[in-house]
Amino acid sequence: MFDEGGWNKEDGGEALSQALLRPRHRPAQHCTLAPRGSLQKQRRRLLATLQRLEASSCTDPPQSPGPLSGDSESESDSVGRAGRKQPRKQRQGLKPRAASSPGVAPGAPSGSGAPHPGPEAGPAGRRRRKDSAAEAPGDSAPAPSKEQPSRELGAAAGRPVPLLTRKQWRNKQKNKRRQKNKFKAGAGQDVGQGTSALPASELSGVLRARMEERLQSARFRYINEQLYTSSSQEAAQLFQRDPAAFAIYHRGFARQVGRWPENPVHRIIQYLRGRPASLVVADFGCGDCKIATSVRNKVHSFDLVALSPRVTVCDMAKVPLADESVDVTVFCLALMGTNLQEILEEANRVLRPGGTLKVAEVASRFGDIRAFVSAVTQLGFQIVSKDLGNPFFYMFDFSKTGQPRAGGSLPGLALRPCLYKKR
């Protein structure tokens, strides 16, 4: 019945009066019917009351000087809702109680301006009194200065413009604050924004921290890209030149994997815990040695830089282990260099026949899984199982069947580099 626009400052008066007028005719028709029984008596009484109310709302000045303290909760609700959607009472064809007749509850004498006593003196009535108290002068003093002009405008135009109760005004302010914060949160992702509320001393600290974080992220992305797009020898040189880069890389790596619902290294740990502790393991690209610290097996941990004393620093294309000396070789998110063939041949060398090669790799790196498996097979392995169920990483188990077959390059081994986007 009421458009939202009907409650705008400009056209609020017309829409309101329209709404008030419409239901007024209906009761008149009903009154011409001969009332029968007590139900009809009640209806007649109700209709008479409605008519009185309507009359009062038309004759009352548009903005009743009656204090908001007289607002009943239901009234403030109907006025408040009106700005957003059609009030239920109006949809039912009943007259909305406009601000012009505050505090008038159905059945109460029109224009009394007092909270409705009697039946509504229950919880609703008590709530109304609480609202009234809240509208005490001190409390309502800071009430919306922006509302004032709209009331005056409406009043000047002779239209009834709804006043806001304290509760409504508070909600309005809350919504405004929310909108503002939403904007700030979005903008705050940029350095220097969303910090305007901070004192200058804190601001410089926050900005510096953000800049450092961005710098670290950029360095992580750079190092990560180097590891995927250069040979393992070049990667080794990179970290020799700049050992600090390794710490940065690992912080970034941990952050990325931390976002995944599951870390594949935990699957590998589970697997090893279910196998005899006597199996010797070689962890190629061990990082912070999660495997070595989580299982009872003898674990050889290899990486380019030592994050822990357990690490043997070396290029995994050339590990200091005797031929056929280990039972399980692990590459957990560590098939990084461009010389994967060399790296997997090294794994084959150190594995005893029938030994297990476990690979966990980022799912998006695989273009053609079959080509990858076929290439690994060329290197003296056979596939035992593959698990492609996780959207983030795939897992493969191979067993060593023999020596790598002599031959040319294996394009199926070329996995896509795993590059992280700038956030």
Using rule CB under 6 A, residue 98 touches ligand SAH: no
Torsion of CA 30, 34, 37, 38, to 10 degrees: 50
Q: Per CB under 6 A, which of residues 173..192 are in contact with ligand SAH?
A: none
Burial zone of 267 (CB within 10 Å; 0-12 exposed, 13-18 middle, 19+ buried): middle
- Piece of 96-104, 328-336, 362-370, 396-404 that binds ligand SAH (CB under 6 A): 328-336
- Compare residues 302 and 372 and give the one whose CB is closer to ligand SAH: 302
Verify binding: residue 315, ligand SAH, rule CB under 6 A.
yes
Radius of gyration of the chain (CA): 38
Q: Which lies closer to ligand SAH via its Cβ, residue 121 or residue 419?
A: 419
Q: What is d(CA 307, CA 309) in angstroms, rounded to the nearest whole number?
A: 7
Using the minimum distance from each CB to ligand SAH, give the nearer residue, 169 or 253: 253
**Contact status, residue 81 vs residue 73, Cβ threshold 8 Å:** no
| Selected binder of ligand SAH within 94, 105, 108, 265 (CB under 6 A) | 265
The smaller minimum CB distance to ligand SAH, of residues 7 and 239, is found at: 239
Rounded Cα distance, 157 and 284, in Å: 82
Residue 292 CA to residue 242 CA, distance in Å, equals 26
- Two tokens, residue 381: 């392995």
Least distance (Å) between residue 232 CB and ligand SAH: 3
Question: With contacts defined by CB under 6 A, how many residues of the chain interact with ligand SAH?
Answer: 20
Give dist(CA 410, CA 413) in Å, integer: 6
What is the nearest approach in angstroms of ligand SAH to the Cβ of residue 321?
13
Q: Are 64 and 155 in contact (CB under 8 A)?
A: no
Helix (H), strand (E) at residue 311: strand 311-313
Which residue in the set 108, 316, 328, 359 belongs to the binding site for ligand SAH (CB under 6 A)? 316
Which window, 66-74, 82-90, 132-140, 281-289, contacts ligand SAH (CB under 6 A)? 281-289
Distance of CA 248 to the CA centre of its chain: 27
H, E, C per residue of 276-320? CCCCEEEEECCCCCHHHHHCCCEEEEEECCCCCCCEEECCCCCCC
Going by the DSSP 8-state scheme, the letter that residue 339 receives in this structure is -
> Among the residues of 351-384, which ranges form H helices?
369-378
The single-letter code of the amino acid at 5 is G
Q: What minimum distance in Å lies between the beta carbon of 186 and ligand SAH?
A: 33
* Alpha-helical regions (H) of 351-422: 369-378
Shortest distance (Å) from residue 333 CB to ligand SAH: 4
Site string for ligand SAH, 286-305 (x = CB under 6 A): xx--x-----------xxx-
Q: Scan residues 200-259 and list those touching ligand SAH (CB under 6 A).
A: 227, 232, 235-236, 253
Which residue, 128 or 349, is less far from ligand SAH as judged by CB?
Answer: 349
* Number of residues written out for the chain: 423
Q: Which stretch binds ligand SAH (CB under 6 A): 12-20, 177-185, 206-214, 280-288?
A: 280-288
Least Å distance between CB 299 and ligand SAH? Answer: 12
Q: Which residues from 332-351 bind ligand SAH, rule CB under 6 A? A: 332-334, 336-337
| Site of interaction with ligand SAH (CB under 6 A) | 227, 232, 235-236, 253, 265, 285-287, 290, 302-304, 315-316, 332-334, 336-337
